[in-house]
Structure 1
Amino acid sequence: MLKILLTVSACFSLIQTDDFAGRILSDSYATPDEFPYAVSIKVRGQHTCGGAIIDYRWVLTAASCFARSEVRSPNQILVMAGTIDLNGMGGSLHSVDKLFVHQNYTKQFQADVQGDIALLRLAKRFSYDSNIQPIKLGTVYDGAKAVVVGWGSESNEYPVASQILKSVKMMVIPGDAACQTDATRVCAAAQTGTGTCMGDSGAPLVDVDSGKLLGIFSLGVQRGCGLGLADIFTKVEPYAKWIDYVKTI
């Protein structure tokens, strides 16, 4: 088990995550059915972001994954589910027929990303089993012990996706001048040497106690990964009504 940092550095820079930012740095490899809600989102066949299954045809992820116009076409997107192996062994690939980026998604500057949330609708429903399951939405709170899972890069020097799903423990912390939060964003910190980075945009932040989805990874640090500095996640609860509405379209 990884030790959780209760404090973070008071000063750091943030970058937007639409260029494959965000990775899991840890030694905790997932077991096949440990995180059945976790998916890899592939654009033109390459792992681009993480996401979470929330219903039979719906995956929740970050809008920043699709910030570039050339990756906004659903026919370029596949969702890999039911496996911890990035090559898809034992899992399944699912076509996407609709991409919904939140209407408030903006990037005013590097540290100010709003509405960083998106939904993918599958062409066909998931078939639930022990390796493919939805996750319920939860309410985030300061001090929550959480886990983030993803296939992000394992090295600052070599930004190549992990071949096996990994997890890292984090703690939700109050926002401050270094990690600015608001009604839709929350900060979480991990132990130095672990954390998120390239390839983990959209990765689910899950409450250890309730098993519910608290947020999705949005912003990481500019100076490198695994420095023990806080990351910003998009809270899911404030977007519950938007999610419900989109699912009726």
Structure 2
Amino acid sequence: MKVFLTILALAVASAAAAPKASIAYPKDLAKTNKIEGRITNGYPAEEGKAPYTVGLGFSAGWWCGGSIIDHTWVLTAEHCIGDAESVTVYFGATWRTNAQFTHWVGNGDFIKNPSADIALIRIPHIDFYHMVNKVELPSYNDRYNDYNEWWAVACGWGGTYDGSPLPDYMQCVDLQIIHNSECADYYGHELIGDNRICVRVVDGKGTCGGDSGGPLVTHDGSKLVGVTNFVASAGCQIGAPAGFQRVTYHLDWIRDHTGIAYY
């Protein structure tokens, strides 16, 4: 299993262009002996706080998050899927594995994006109610919105600091989106392209191991703007930004595979 994402092109770049920090996939950070997901220094989510958030227990043994975007689709990160043969999707869980219901999905219903760390999972049709519901995607009118300084919320399951015991109760954390140039100061412009969106990590608040694929949803309008991708390899709480796939960048790809679009 990959632990760190290595950008080979950086090896031939000039020293001045080298990133200041390396990155890690949250799902690949050091794990305890049980399935896990983490939000660092967040707060417990009340029941129904994020009904669009699902837990993804992959057959290969790792745990990720995802977002319900339609009756038959979940959006997650491509690196979560990896070479897994199947996934169990946990719907409407506040206590991680005490879901309202689950569905098993085979890899024939996985759709990977060949050029970015984002993926779709086709699920059996589900009905929506207060505990299980979709999150809306941004509209095409927002495709050039950089969301700089907007506040958003990320939710998942797990510990409250690096290396902590991992609670099973869903945690959420409020995070402020930053301009890509601020994120690139840490990781380099080669990595932080138009497909990325980043948040500040202040007072150790952010995403961490197992949160890969989970949602970043704006406070204003409750739109899904990010899919959890990476954190600093030196630790989730060191103050380096956390990175996501920028959903507005992928609206055409999502529409082409699901038919979902907001104009």
Check whether TM > 0.5: yes
- Indicate the percent of aligned positions where both proteins have the same amino acid: 29
Tell me which amino acid in the other structure corresponds to 1:86: R
Pairwise CA distance, 1:45: 8.8
Structure 1 unaligned segments of length 5 or more: list them. Answer: 1-9, 105-114
CA separation of 1:233 and 1:165: change in aligned 2, threshold 3 A: same
Using the alignment, how far apart are the partners of 1:17 and 1:26 within structure 2? 16
CA contact (8 A) 1:161 1:199 kept: no
1:59-115, CA deviations, whole angstroms, 9 ceiling, x for partnerless residues? 000001122x2x1x2xx20110112111225x11012240011021xxxxxxxxxx0
Range 49-58 or range 232-241, more displaced = 232-241
Partner of 1:48 in structure 2?
63
Q: Are 2:92 and 1:87 equivalent residues in the alignment?
A: no
When you count helix as a share of all residues, which structure comes out higher?
2
Structure 2 unaligned segments of length 5 or more: list them. Answer: 1-18, 31-36
Pairwise CA distance, 1:19: 2.2
What is the total number of aligned residue pairs between the two structures? Answer: 221
CA contact (8 A) 1:24 1:149 kept: yes
CA contact (8 A) 1:168 1:190 kept: no
User: What SS does the corresponding residue of 1:78 show, helix, strand or coil?
Assistant: strand
CA contact (8 A) 1:20 1:65 kept: no
Q: Are 2:186 and 1:178 equivalent residues in the alignment?
A: yes
Pairwise CA distance, 1:144: 1.0
CA RMSD in angstroms comes to 2.2
Using the alignment, how far apart are the partners of 2:81 and 2:22 within structure 1? 22
In structure 1, which of residues 44, 63, 70 is the aligned counterpart of residue 78 of structure 2? 63
In structure 2, which of residues 19, 23, 32 is the aligned counterpart of residue 14 of structure 1? 23
Larger Rg: 2
CA separation of 1:52 and 1:161: change in aligned 2, threshold 3 A: farther
CA contact (8 A) 2:45 2:94 kept: yes
Q: Are 2:161 and 1:164 equivalent residues in the alignment?
A: no
1:26-69, CA deviations, whole angstroms, 9 ceiling, x for partnerless residues? 241111111110000111395610110000010000001122x2
Using the alignment, how far apart are the partners of 1:174 and 1:50 within structure 2? 24
TM-score (norm 2): 0.77
Q: Stretches of 4+ moved more than 3 A in 1?
A: 152-155
Using the alignment, how far apart are the partners of 1:64 and 1:43 within structure 2? 12
Matches within 5 A, 1:121-140: 121-122=122-123, 124-138=124-138, 139=142, 140=146
Tell me which amino acid in the other structure corresponds to 1:232: G
1:163-208, CA deviations, whole angstroms, 9 ceiling, x for partnerless residues? 0111111111122331442211111113222211101001101111
TM-score (norm 1): 0.81
CA contact (8 A) 1:80 1:94 kept: yes
Using the alignment, how far apart are the partners of 1:47 and 1:30 within structure 2? 23
Tell me which amino acid in the other structure corresponds to 2:156: G
